Structure 1
Amino acid sequence: MNTFQDIRYYFEKNGYAVSSRLADRLGMKTKNVRLFFIYASFFTLGIWFLVYLTLAFWLKLKDLVYTKRTSVFDL
C-alpha cells in the first residue's frame, strides 16, 4: 500500500497541474476532473490522455509567455 501512495504522490506532484488549474477555472473539485480524465481515457482508448498532454503543453507555454511582472522596469 505504501508503494501505491508513493506513486500517487509522484504523479500528483509532477502532473503539470492541468487538473487543478482546469478545476479552478471551471469551479469544480480537482478530484472530479482527474476522475473524468481517467474514465474518459479508458473509454476512448487513450484519446483523452493526448488531450491532457496537449493541455499540459499549452499551460506550460502560457506560463512562459505570460509571466507577471512586478514593475515596468522588469521589461
Structure 2
Amino acid sequence: MNYIYKPLLFFQKHGYYVCQRIADRFGIRAKVVRTTFMYLTFVTVGFGFALYLFLAFWIKIKDLVYTKRTSVFDL
C-alpha cells in the first residue's frame, strides 16, 4: 500500500504548494483557491457533457426533420 500512497502524497504536496503560491500572490487563503479550482473543474466537465448531449439531441432532430430522399416517389 505504501507504493500507492507515496506518489499520492507527492502530488498532493506539490499541488497544494502551487495553490499556496497562488494564494500568497493574491493575498487570499489557500483553501479558497483549492475549492475554487475544484468547483471550476466540476463546472467545466459538466458543461462539456451538457454540450455533448445538446449536440446529440440537435443532430437527432435534424436527421428526423431533413430526411434525404433518393427520388420524388419516396414520399
Greater RCO, CA 8 A, separation 6+: 1
- Larger of the two Rg values belongs to structure: 2
- Same fold at TM > 0.5: no
Q: TM-score, normalised by structure 2?
A: 0.43
TM-score, normalization: structure 1? 0.43
